[in-house]
Structure formats: C-alpha cells, structure tokens
Chains A and B, each alone.
Chain A
Amino acid sequence: MAQGGSALLPRLEGVALEHRVVGEDHRTILLARTLTELEIADVSDWEQSPSKYVLSSLKRWIGRHGGESIPAQFELHATLSNTPDRYSCEDVNPGRLYLTVDPESAGYIVIGPTLEMLKQIDPRLPVTFYDLVVGAVIRWMRAYDYRDGLERVEMWREWAEGEGGADEYEIPDVESCIPAEMKEEPLKGEAVRELLRQMQDDHARGLIEAALALDRISQRLQPPEICDETREAFMDSNPPLPALLVSFKRNDSIAGCFEEENQNMLEAGPEPSFIAEIDPGNAESVRQSFDALAVLCETMAAASRLAVLLPGNSEEG
C-alpha cells in the first residue's frame, strides 16, 4: 500500500471474491488419535488427513462387523458428524461428535409362509420366531410391522369418527391379516432348545437356530443412551425411519399402511435410528460408541442372512 496521509486500497479486479477453507476439526484430530490408540483404526489408512483416516476407520470397522452382508436386505447409512441432526447442521455441543445410522430405504420381509411352516411343528413356534427376529431388529433400528399398522388404523378410525363415521371411509383391515397363531404365548428359551433337539425338519431347525443367534447378537449390548441436550435437538422431529417392513403376505394391509404412512415420513426431519454421542478424546466413550455400532451392524447382517432363508420371502410381486 502507498505511504501517505490516507490508505490506498489495492485493486482487486480478477481476484476471487470468495474462498472456502476446509480445515481439520479439532474433534476429528482427537478422534483419529483415540481410534489409533484403541487400535480400531488401521495405520495403513493414514494419508495425512485425520478426517479421511477417521472415515476409512469407520468403513473398515463396519466391514469387520458384517458390513458386506447388510446391503442384501438393508440400505443403511452411517454418519459421523458434529451435529446429531443431519437436517439442521446445528453444532449442539462443540466438544462432541455424533455417530448416527439411518436407513435410506426399508428392507422387506414377508414372514407369513415361515410362520405357516413353523405352526406345523408347534403352535407357539410362529410367535416365538417372530419375536426373536423382529425383536432383535427393533432393539437397534425401527421396524414397521402389524403393531404400527394397527396404530395407524386406530388413528384413521378416530379421524373418521369426527368426519361423519368410519363406515364412510375405506380403512385397511390389518386385524384380519394377522395369523391366529400370533396371539399365542411365545415359548421360553429352554422350551425352544428342547423343540430344537426333537426337530426333524432341517430347514425349520436352521431358521430357529438363525433366529436364536440373531437374538443373542442383538443383546450383546444395549443401544447407547443420549443426553437431554441431544434429545432436545429432536423435539420437532418425526420418528426414526423404519429400516424394515414386516408383513405376513406380500402387499397385505400392513404393507398398505406402510405405503400410506411412507408419504409423510419426511414431512419433518426424522430422528436418527441410532445415535452415539462421542467425546472424541475419551477412549471409553469412543470404545463404547464403536462397540455399539459393531453390535448394530452384526445384528443387521444376521437379519439380512436370515431373510434369505425365509420361504417365500424372495418372490417378487
């Protein structure tokens, strides 16, 4: 600049008007360090960039915990971010990172033919199987099943009552598509193992063993709790998107209710299905979050492998 009584501004023609700087967040550097110390990260992934390194470690971790089996049935998306809500981008807590998992679309299981087959072995086996399989998924991700369908129908009935009576509207009959054996009492663990010992049918035995394994995997850990501050970020959010739709027959009333509800699921941003709050410099916090993610992945991988075994599940239509 010129010397003198007044400042002379340099001419800026031809100079870019806007620059964006992508810097490494301090939290990412801390997380990269903790993942290295815990040996969750593989140093062969290091390319001088903590964010790339953390991303590679996350991918590697998912891969080590059944990641390859998941896409056969489910389309899940894991995110590591400075905000728990991918729709708001608000930095809720400057000392935290958030590991979230959301479905991009819902997997679909038609479970009726399997229940029909299991009924021949024991009338209480279908509901036992259903509870093992769907219960395992629900521990980690949202599944849409007949209970959501019934709730939806109840809501429509209440609305129709106020609009001149339910008879005036065509409301799906979810109740009638629930098999009668679903009202039985589920068998206890020892009774299932006893049945397995006596079972002649190899296919049925394989299914029950896979369901028991799925249940065991899903219970290895509890999903992480989130603090009130994070919970508040979802005050106005929709419920999590379902990762799985379970109906008894293909395109039955439950699937119909899901299709209907699906139209409004993104009216407000949905809450993530899985959230782990990470204090990136705290080894215990990082370990717990990644362990929880591992159980989620192994559960969904086991569910994905089991879905392939279900009779009638892969038929199109």
Chain B
Amino acid sequence: MFDLSAQKVNAVRHAKTISRAAREAVLRELALMAEGRHPDCNTITGRFIRDPELQQASKILRDAIQAEYHGRPANDITPPPPAWLLPA
C-alpha cells in the first residue's frame, strides 16, 4: 500500500516550513530597513534621506550658490548647525 495521506501531510509541512522561512526573511529585511541598516539605505540617496546634517549641508551649499548667482543678501543663507565653521 502507498500511504498518500502521509505524503500529503509531509508536503503541507514542507510548504509551511518554506513559507515560514520566507516570511522570516522578509521580516528581517524590513527590520533592517526600519533601522536604516538595509543595503538599500546605504546608497548615497538612502543616507541623504536619513541624515539631517547631509540635508542641511546641501541647503547651505544651495543657498551659497543662489547667493552667488543672484546676489542675495548673505543673511538669507541657512545658518549652519552649532559648532560648524562658517565658510571662509
């Protein structure tokens, strides 16, 4: 006799194990994303999104360029964060 029911039970168990493993893998990736440690977060844009200092530095640079091109008064320029040096 060929026990089909035992085969079915094994197949279901196997599918469940694969499914659980896949779910855990997705949850691990999501946890890394939430903590900013996922490889996707370490691209230059990923770091930019999460780093307020990088964002502020780019604003300072943008303002400086605009002031240079359009002759805006220097007091319009975004103030640097504490302990940062003003441009020479």
**Interface positions of A (Cβ within 8 A of B):** 5-7, 9, 12, 21, 23-24, 26, 29-30, 32-33, 36-37, 39, 43-44, 46, 48, 50
Contacts and interface: CB of A to CB of B under 8 A. Distances in A.
Interface residues of B, number: 21
A43 B26 contact: yes
B34 A21 contact: no
18 contacts: A5-B88, A7-B87, A7-B88, A9-B64, A21-B45, A21-B49, A29-B30, A29-B34, A33-B27, A33-B31, A33-B34, A36-B26, A36-B27, A37-B27, A43-B22, A43-B23, A43-B26, A44-B22
A12 B65 contact: yes
A152 B29 CA distance: 55
Interface residue SS majority, chain B: helix
* Residue in B26, B31, B45, B88 with the greatest tally of chain A CB atoms within 10 Å: B26
B20 to A, nearest CB: 10
A61 B22 CA distance: 19
B33 interface: yes
B80 to A, nearest CB: 13
A36 B30 contact: yes
Given A24-B33, A33-B30, 18 more contacts: A6-B88, A7-B87, A9-B64, A9-B68, A12-B65, A23-B45, A26-B34, A29-B30, A29-B33, A29-B34, A30-B34, A33-B27, A36-B23, A36-B27, A43-B23, A44-B22, A46-B29, A50-B30
